[in-house]
Amino acid sequence: MIVRPAPVDDDNRDQRNDDRLASNAKLVPVLNLLNEPETASLTLPQLLAKCKLTGDEYMNCLRMTASSSSVVLKREPKDCWVNNYNRHLLLAWDGNLDIQYILNAYSCIAYICSYISKAEHGLSQYLKSVIENSRCANVNESDEMKQIMQAYSKKREGKTQESHEVWMTGLPEKYKSRPQTEEFEVMCLADFASTCRIVYGKQAKGKNVLPLLNDMGFVQKRTEKHAVIKYCKYSEQKNPEEYYCCLLKLYLPHRADCQLKSERCPSYQLFHDNACVQLPYNDSVERVCQIVRRNRERYEKYSRDIDNAIQEVEESGLVINEWCHLAPESELQRLECVEEMNARDEPNDNVEENVPDYNVRSKTTQMSIVTEPAAIDPAVLRDMYRNLNQKQASVFYKVRDWCIKRVCSSKPIEQFFYHINGGAGTGKSHLIKCIHADATKILQRLPRLAEEADISKQTVVLAAFTGTAAFNISGATLHCLLKLPRSLKPPYHGLGNKLDEVRAELSIAEILIIDEISMVSKDLFAYVNARLKQIKGINLPFGGMSVLAVGDFFQLPPVRQSKPLCVYDPTRLDHWRDDFKKITLTAIMRQKDDVAFAELLNRLRVKEKSDELSEMDRALLATRWMAITLRCWNCFIRTLCRLTRMTTRKTKELAEWQDWRRS
């Protein structure tokens, strides 16, 4: 319905205010009840009944509290947090829609203006305060308009495309109209921007304020801190003319752009390298390149070194892997795997097996929200497949068969939900690598990906709760992958403007593998389910994606005393209990050569605090205690040494930075 405020006369104004307060008091319980999670299952009549309101009373309260004409949509309580939509438009335009219904032309204009400036938070309030201050200062209309224009240019968030041919004058034009004194004549644009500020209104009558030429305003020297200058930077190799134009405008004193070129040197680069000029209040002629170099060193002392370092990193990559210092245990395991790979015999290329190869992904220059696992040699993969035990192989071939059906069948294939359980050393991470490599290769042959597939995006996504667990499987954290908010309490918050970005990254994803599932709480799991539904646009569990959850609930629980997934909650929908099939790995693979110690670890895994260790277990554990202690001390010392070196380097860099600031 359309709610319009009732006309108010002077005679019934007091009665109207009383009715409005009474109606507002009746609507407050409705709003409070909408914020409760259990409201999602109620209909509007049930919701109003809980608040002791009828439908007519509710409509009348809306009319009484309306201050302007507005549209009230017929919605269910569960849809109160959903943006306005139209079912016909949703079918016609498969994209992100946010519809606002309008009642007059002014609303249409206001919506368009607010949309094109939606990134400029608080700009309207800021401009109002500027207008009020300018009126209090008793300035004329022309100066008032200049102040508003200046405030708008400083406060608004302009894009790169908007930085050229702006309709108002900026700092470069004011620099060209600087005072004709000795101090300002030899001042370059960088000095003017850093050491001076433009003043308006009452500030123009302050101390040490000088007028600019051509009625461009007033300027004042900064007495305390200098300002940081920002400018567009070009590549000397790719755009030499723009590069030298930027240098000359910043560091060569000038009054007009024509002074940055000459007839003998028609280009900026030639003028910079070969020309000579005589600065005001200077009797000698000086080379342009020397003037630019002298002024530039005060602002870009280490720019060459930084550019060379960035270029070296982009060409050759990081030389040192910092992870080996932060997590030496993981680095040691990686080095052991590398040694085992190097010690293997050369594979027999003539052997033909029905095992899919693993193709190396194409390199892309764009950042992806999903970390790409390193390419694995096909010979290593074949050995990994052979080393799977019976239970691991059963899971592997179940997933493999599902992928083949998904590729070959023209009908929708029912998604799978598996939970791979097992203690430490049972080969869960090994199984993840095998499934990921095999499923990725098969799913890339989907018919819909035959022509337009982007192999930089993954069909099998690896994720975990913590960064360390995600690093170990070459994946991403769930929060980073799905852009989850910090607070996971209802109501559900959609992605908004980031939806298209995440949807593009996960456009061809078919399987989600979550490692260390014991650290995932019920709230986080429910949010992952809702977020994947939004991304995929499919109202199936997890947006129609299959989920392989890996982890042991005897290990780390969720943070902040949240409920783990294995604890059943009858008050809410439980996909974990209803849909996931549990598969437990029992064979110890990591300590398969030391069965006694492996059995001891399993006993410790399920031991209660009150259970006493047997003498045999104590004796076996004591034989390993010294090796465990030495290994922990080794890791601790390596990490401590690394932190000491980092602290020393940072202290030295800070001292150099302070010396440069003083100079």
The predicted structure's pLDDT at residue 330: 62
pLDDT per residue as tens digits for the range 140-166: 777 778 777 777 766 655 443 333 444
What's at 155, amino acid-wise? K
Contact at 8 Å (CB) between 147 and 130?
yes
CA distances from residue 402 to 53, 367, 415, 448, 474 in whole angstroms, order as listed: 53, 30, 9, 17, 23
Residues 6+ apart with CB under 8 A from 338: none
How far is it, in rounded angstroms, from Cα 232 to Cα 159? 12
421: helix, coil or strand? Answer: strand
Token reading at 637? 């010392």
For 549, counting Cβ atoms within 10 Å of its Cβ (0-12 exposed, 13-18 middle, 19+ buried), the class is buried
d(CA 6, CA 2): 12
The answer to whether domain 416-606 has CATH 3.40.50.300 is yes
Please, which residues bridge with residue 222 across strands? Answer: none
Name 123's Cβ contacts closer than 8 Å, sequence gap at least 6: 117, 152, 155, 156
- DSSP notation for 179-206: --SHHHHT--HHHHHHHEEEE-GGGGGS
Q: What is the pLDDT of residues 400-443, one digit of tens each?
A: 999 988 888 878 888 999 998 887 777 888 888 899 888 888 88
Beta bridge partners of 474: none
Instruction: Record the pTM.
Output: 0.42
Q: Is 273 helix (H, G, I), strand (E, B) or coil?
A: helix
In the predicted model, residues of the chain with pLDDT beneath 70 are 117-123, 135, 137-139, 153-168, 317-375, 448-456, 589-602, 605-606, 624-635, 638-639, 642-643, 645-647, 649-650, 653, 658, 661, 663
The two tokens of residue 65 are: 């509290």
Report whether 150 contacts 173 (CB < 8 A): no
Q: Is 476 helix (H, G, I), strand (E, B) or coil?
A: strand
Domain range summary for the chain, segments of one domain joined by + = 2-116, 240-307, 416-606
* Residues 134/143, Cβ–Cβ less than 8 Å: yes
Strand pairing category for 196-199 and 218-221: antiparallel
SS3 549: strand
Element housing 256 (H / E): none
> Are the CB atoms for 70 and 2 separated by under 8 Å?
yes
Residue 506: predicted pLDDT: 86
Residue linked to tokens 């930085």: 163
Q: Can you give the length of the chain in residues?
A: 663
